[in-house]
Amino acid sequence: MSDSYITLIKGGEDEIVEKKSRFIGQIQPVSSEEEAQAFIDSIRKKHYDARHNCFAFSVGSSMPTLRFSDDGEPQGTAGKPILEVINSSGIHNICIVVTRYFGGTLLGTGGLVRAYTEAAKVALLQCETKLIQRLYPVEIKLSYTDMGKVSYILNTKNIDICDTVFADDVAFQIQIPVGKKDEILNDITEATGARAVIAVGDEIFG
């Protein structure tokens, strides 16, 4: 399982014109094949008079389900290029539909691949994404004397302190990426002479 992946927060839309043919890229976050199909169906209904509504989608963060369709375009000229845009972006749980209104001029195989690729890319630029990481929630209890040392370590490792509780001692609530856990906790233990009490929770995505 990957330690991180990119997910779509907000979809987007944009278009290009190639030799009078309009290619409209439309993107939406999806969490299942059913949601992806519902989005595709909605675009087909919206653009019922278009020549083609080609699509690709990726669902799932680990070994994602991948589907694509050329929707009547020559094989390999539409759906697969759209899927390549998805794969190269690293985004999961995403559906892209590119609608084509034919402009009267044939583009050829290479021209179609370029047009569908570019339409998907420009629509992707209108979207909002977020990096999702595998994290460990961690509570660190330490003395006021050790507070500065631990704060310095967390700052240099780019770890934000989610919450701080001040009582007889200090408690930091943090989230550490899976790949950095051992390194950071070892540094804290060493810096505090093992005085810090560290409690690691179950792995989460965030």
Tell me the pLDDT tens digit for each residue of 108-159. Answer: 999 999 999 999 999 999 999 998 888 999 999 999 999 999 999 999 999 9
List beta partners, residue 49: none
User: What is the pLDDT at residue 35?
Assistant: 97
Fold match between domain 4-126 and domain 134-205: no
N- to C-terminal Cα distance for the chain? 15
In the predicted model, what is the mean pLDDT of residues 71-88? 96
CATH number of the structural domain 134-205: 3.30.70.240
What are the pLDDT digits (tens) for 2-30? 778 888 999 999 999 999 999 999 999 99
Indicate if the pLDDT at residue 163 is higher than 80.
Answer: yes
User: What is the pLDDT at residue 1?
Assistant: 56
User: In this structure, what token pair is assigned to residue 144?
Assistant: 């006021």
d(CA 169, CA 139): 13
Q: Considering only CA atoms, which of 172, 163, 176 is closest in space to residue 135?
A: 176
Domain ranges of the chain: 4-126, 134-205
* DSSP string computed for 7-71: EEEE-EEEEEEETTEEEEEEEEE-SSHHHHHHHHHHHHHHTTTSSEEEEEEEE-SSS-EEEEE-T
Buried/exposed code over 89-121 (b: 16+ C-beta within 10 A; e: otherwise) = bebbbbbbbbbbbeeeeebeeeebbbbbbbbbb
d(CA 176, CA 185): 9
Give the SS3 label for residue 165. Answer: strand
137: amino acid identity, one letter: P
Cα distances (Å, whole numbers) of residue 22 to 18, 51, 57, 99, 161: 7, 10, 21, 8, 49
Contact 95, 67 (CB under 8 A): no
Q: Which residue has the tokens 């907000």?
A: 10
Pairing of strands 128-142, 4-10: antiparallel
Q: pTM of the entire structure?
A: 0.77
Pairing of strands 21-29, 94-101: antiparallel
CATH number of the structural domain 4-126: 3.30.230.30
